[in-house]
Structure 1
Amino acid sequence: MPDSMARIAAYHFGWEDAEGEPARADGGKVLRPALTLLCAEAVGGTAQAALPAAVAVELVHNFSLLHDDVMDGDLTRRHRPTAWNVFGAGAAILAGDALLARALELLAGPGEGVAVLSRAVLELVEGQSSDMSFERRSDVGLAECVQMADRKTGALIGASCGLGALVGGGSAERAARLTAFGHRLGLAFQLVDDLLGIWGDPATTGKAAHSDLRSRKKSLPVVAALTSGTAAGGELAALYHQDRPLGDAERVRAAELVEAAGGREWARARAAELVDEALAELDASRPVGAAADHLRDLAGLVTTRDH
């Protein structure tokens, strides 16, 4: 990558500090490339053959994070200032674009890799666009919120698994099953992410307490509460429909209202259901070797993680 973009990317990944000196900051969970490598092995291929695809999906994920932080105005990620907060919004957006270009370059050549990843990026962008439009609306339905999350998170995790199966030499049918496994796992992942965005421990998540409530983000538990038809949901709507960020006391109250209206329990239960559905798709793909057990372990971690 060009030096200017490489510096921002290296900071974002936690390899360097803001001055370009070596650092050992948190680089994220690298869930998506792990799934790519394991799905390649699950169909009888090798992790080595899947490495370019694994790197590509991680670059795409971080392209989306760099842009997402700018659009949401998030000041911290992984326990330190976000890239745009250090280098400026324009520079962070360009660094994200560079990561996307590099990802597609890694998959260039014969095969379906570029097409699979490009479709996932289009879904991701559409999901992010919907997420932003929800900020200006007071009538967001639960079904469209689920569809947004499925595009924003499920599409890339699904593609991570499908790409692994394809480069591992799996059949189209097995790749489709593993894509479905990843898609359901991705939506479960987003549900848990949304729960952590309200109730996660800042010391563990690296984000401020009630971070999603500060900007009145219409995450899945929030929309479930807003559409619950309960008194708590009505009070939450009155808070959320103000034209300003919520104060500290208001964020605490909003979290209480989301829980009272059933949003927290709905998200927990739906995430567990999605993991069960994902595991059924995994079994249908006839995974082989130790990779099958590792994929099941990763699926279990989705609903029990704390960051």
Structure 2
Amino acid sequence: MTATIPESLGALRALVEPSIRGAIDRLDSHCRLVSGYHLGYWQVDGTPTDGGGKGMRAAFTLLGARAAGARPDRAVPAAAAVELVHNYSLLHDDVMDRDAERRHRPSAWAAYGEADAILAGDALLGLAFELLAEAAEPTATWALRTLSVTVRRLVAGQTADLRFERRDDVTLDECLEMVRGKTAALFACSCSIGAMLCDAPAETTLRLARYGEHLGVAFQLVDDLLGIWGTPEVTGKPVLHDLQSRKKSIPVVYALGAGVAAADRLRELYLAPGELTGEQLAEAAALVEAAGGRSWTEHEAGRQLDLALAQLDEIDELAGGDDAAPAPLPADVRAELIDLAHFVTGRDR
């Protein structure tokens, strides 16, 4: 990971920020207040702040446009749309997961109430489609359909994740399929929709989508590792948060299915009523590691990252030939896609 990545993210987000802020200004005053608070634009009472997310998904969308040989500003409507969809999902997820903190401060539902947070999420979703529909590109209809399918996949993934909480027989394959919907689908969309909006060759768009899907899986695997072994300074959540909430994360599900003594004891702890003590949480983390959950997840995250980067090689290998063949990736775009991939799967997010 290069040291310039945060600066690169900031520069790309600066292209999208005015569009997102302008969209938020279309909302009624209270929904605007809740949405802007969630996005980090101001405090609970509306006092402006210097906050805001990294804008990773928007950055990938703009890079997708550049991969197609287009100016990044042509993809701003799509970049803003994927950021709004992402934040719609976060607003709703925090309510469903009862997460009272996000980005080291009270989540929107904790600050304003569940109903206001849900409605703010609904508003952001509507704004996403509104912005993309306004794009002055002949391919906007295809981009809209892609975003719609992505939201459907995202909802299916979140539904599966919630249902897993009520089951003790979740398989690793089921978990990975859930991740492909809940997390990887939006990554795939983010990485390809900018190229699509700019009328890139189908082979370029397809491989950027595959790059995003593999990267999204790797991202979630790392996130699951951080949910057990990360620090509050990095995750913004209490230590061992995912274990306390009995989350069926990838390391846990792998460990539960390992068929070893550590798996049996871990299952006992996961089925125990009430909150686990600090000692029990530490034991659970050690059991996940002893059963191989940590090492398998780390290895699979690395494998998915390699698969993502291989898609960039395929674009270059297909370059040339007939008019429908993709052009090779510009060297600077390839470098940024590689560096961003390493950044978003790093342990310091």
TM range (shorter): over 0.9
Q: Give the 3-state SS of the residue equivalent to 2:121 in structure 1.
A: helix
Whether the 8 Å CA contact 1:45–1:169 is kept in 2: the answer is no
Contact residue 196 and residue 306 of structure 1 kept, 8 A: no
Flag structure 1 segments of 5+ consecutive residues without an equivalent: none
Correspondence for 2:332: 290
- Say which of 128, 145, 152 aligns to 1:115: 145
Within the alignment, does 1:280 sit opposite 2:305 as a pair?
Answer: no
- Count of paired positions: 306
Aligned to 1:73: 98
Per mean C-alpha deviation after superposition, the further-off stretch among 106-115 and 264-273 is 106-115
| Contact 1:226–1:237 (CA under 8 A) maintained in structure 2 | yes
State the distance in 1 between where 2:94 and 2:110 align.
9
For 1:2 and 1:83, the matched residues in 2 are separated by 17
Moved over 3 A (4+): none
What residue is the counterpart of 1:21 in the other structure? 47
Identity of aligned residues (%): 51
Counterpart Cα distance in 1 of 2:43 and 2:232: 21
Q: Conserved in 1, the CA contact under 8 Å of 2:226 and 2:347?
A: no
CA distance in 2, matches of 1:96, 1:283: 37
Question: How far did 1:285 drift?
Answer: 2.2
Matched, 1:85 2:85: no
Structure 1 residue 201, shift from structure 2 partner: 1.1
TM normalised by structure 2 equals 0.85
User: Is 1:198 the equivalent of 2:259?
Assistant: no
Q: Find 2:301's aligned residue among 271, 290, 305.
A: 271
Query: Is contact 1:41-1:168 (8 Å) kept?
Result: no
Matched, 1:7 2:33: yes
Q: Which has the higher contact order (CA 8 A, sep 6+)?
A: 1
Corresponding residue to 1:225 among 252, 255, 269: 255
In the other structure, the counterpart of 1:158 is: 188
* Aligned equivalent of 1:208: 238
Instruction: Report the Cα distance in structure 1 between the residues aligned to 2:267 and 2:291, rounded to whole angstroms.
Output: 11
CA drift of 1:168 comes to: 2.8
Rounded to whole Å, the distance in 2 between the matches of 1:283 and 1:46 is: 22
For 2:16, the equivalent position in structure 1 comes to: none
Question: How far apart, in 1, do the equivalents of 2:276 and 2:72 lie?
Answer: 46
Q: Which runs of 5+ in 2 are unaligned?
A: 1-26, 317-328
Q: Distance in 2 between matches of 1:212 and 1:197?
A: 5
TM (norm. structure 1) is: 0.97
Q: What is the RMSD of the two structures over their aligned residues, measured on CA atoms?
A: 1.2
Residues 1:101 and 2:131 are matched in the alignment: no
Pick the structure with greater CA Rg. 2
Deviation at 1:104, TM superposition (A): 0.5
Q: CA deviation at 1:51?
A: 0.8
2:271 corresponds in structure 1 to 241
